[in-house]
Amino acid sequence: MDATIPGLMTSFFGNAGQRCLAGQTLIIVGENDAFYKDFMEKVTDRAKNIVVGYGLDESVQMGPVRDAKKKESILNYIETGIKEGATLRLDGRKAKEIKGGYPDTCFLGPTIMENVERQMRVVRKEIFGPTMGVMRVKTLDEAIEICNESPYHNGHAIFTSNGKCARQFQYDCISGNVGINIGIVAPMAFFPFSGMAGSFLGILHTQGKEAIRFFTESKVCIHRWL
Amino acid sequence: MNLRTASETLSFIRELEEKAAAFYEGLAKRFPEKKSDFLTFANENRKYNKQIQMAYQSVITDAIEGCYAFDLETDDYAFTTDLAESAGLTEAAAKALAIEEKILACYTLGAEQSGSLLADVPRNFKIVVRKRNDRLEKLKSLA
């Protein structure tokens, strides 16, 4: 658990959630209520202590969102989530403190929403902000089913100490980038960066051999010497 | 002060290494018979700084996952480099050992905390700890 939580923080709240591989929905598998309670307390405690402020200050963990319009869009998603039945466990609609005393025009705090359901807009749309929607399921099969029914398939990650679960997730989850105990599934440059379904446009991915294919043309030379 | 991000932790470690390097350069002037050893230590400190900085900047996960990797208290690793005018080589070596212990403790806990999140920075922390063992032996023989 101690190793997982920093990974979740960077996944959901790193870059203020504004990166294509940022986490948005956290699915907790199992029916152990005590585990859930303890885990969520630790996650919330860590998230609420995130230092928000000017992104080039070395001690700041979360910078601003892109602009005021983006902030408004994220706030709308949070409001929609609440209307659709989610409950706010951590309200980041107003950052509790902005290091450096900057105006809050583009700043948000980390938000955690519980009781999120698979049909909600906060699950099915890309928020691209510092929000974490939490849902609970009984089995890994169910969790994978939720991942696969999403219109977007850029990155999915599992945090587990169980090799069987990791392997099942790796094979069954439809995703361009699969992480096992990795929050941000960013491949090294020699591997393709591979979104799938709604997270992909074209026929070739960036990076790796596919990038070389994208930027080059094939040339065939057939020889016969008499 | 609490250090959480990789960036601020590396800046802090850079300060520790530079402060220790300056201390060793002072010792090299004060104890000409051990000048070579002390200057080597100072140069190594600066080399470690470059090594760690390169690890941080050249591996993608170390840069993008660095904001939540550490939980270090700077007070735990603070040290002074003051040495009495009358201090001999033995006292100087003892002081250097105390400084090394602080720096090693910072690297060791830092590597432990960030190991599950970063790729190369914690690995390089461990390499620096390992490389410093020879230095500790030399200092112990002087103390």
pLDDT 10s digits, B3-50 = 999 999 999 999 999 999 999 999 999 999 999 999 999 999 999 999
Tell me how far CA of residue A114 lies from CA of A78, A124, B35, B119, in angstroms. 12, 15, 63, 32
DSSP-derived secondary structure letter, A109? -
CA gap A107, A111 in Å, rounded = 12
| Per-residue pLDDT, B134 | 87
CA gap A139, B107 in Å, rounded = 40
State the nearest Cα–Cα gap between B103 and chain A, in angstroms.
21
Give the A window 177-196 contacts with B, CB below 8 Å: 181-184, 186, 188
**If we measure between CA atoms, which residue out of A25, A19, A52 comes closest to residue A115?**
A25
Any CB–CB contact under 8 A between B8 and chain A? Answer: yes
Q: Residues with Cβ < 8 Å from A197, sequence gap 6 or more?
A: A151, A152, A153, A174
| Per-residue pLDDT, B60 | 73
Query: Which residues of chain A make contact with B67, given a CB cutoff of 8 A?
Result: 9-10, 14, 61-62
pLDDT above 90: residue A194: no
> Could you give the percent of chain B with pLDDT greater than 70?
100
Instruction: Specify which residues A155 forms β-bridges with.
Output: A177
| Per-residue pLDDT, B58 | 84
pLDDT above 80: residue B64: no
CATH classification (class only), A4-138: alpha beta
| Per-residue pLDDT, B116 | 83
- Where are the domains positioned within chain A? 4-138
Q: With an 8 Å Cβ cutoff, are A9 and B5 in contact?
A: no
Nearest-by-CA chain A residue for B1: A59
pTM of the model: 0.88
- The mean per-residue pLDDT over the stretch B75-79 comes to 96
Question: What phi and psi, each to the nearest 5 degrees, are found at residue B31?
Answer: -125, 80
| Per-residue pLDDT, A31 | 95
State the architecture of B2-142 in CATH terms. Up-down Bundle (1.20)
Any CB–CB contact under 8 A between A10 and chain B? Answer: yes
pLDDT above 90: residue B117: no
Split at pLDDT 50, 70, 90, the class of A42 is: very high
Any CB–CB contact under 8 A between A51 and chain B? Answer: yes
Any CB–CB contact under 8 A between B22 and chain A? Answer: no
- Cβ(A138)–Cβ(A29) under 8 Å? yes
| Per-residue pLDDT, A116 | 97
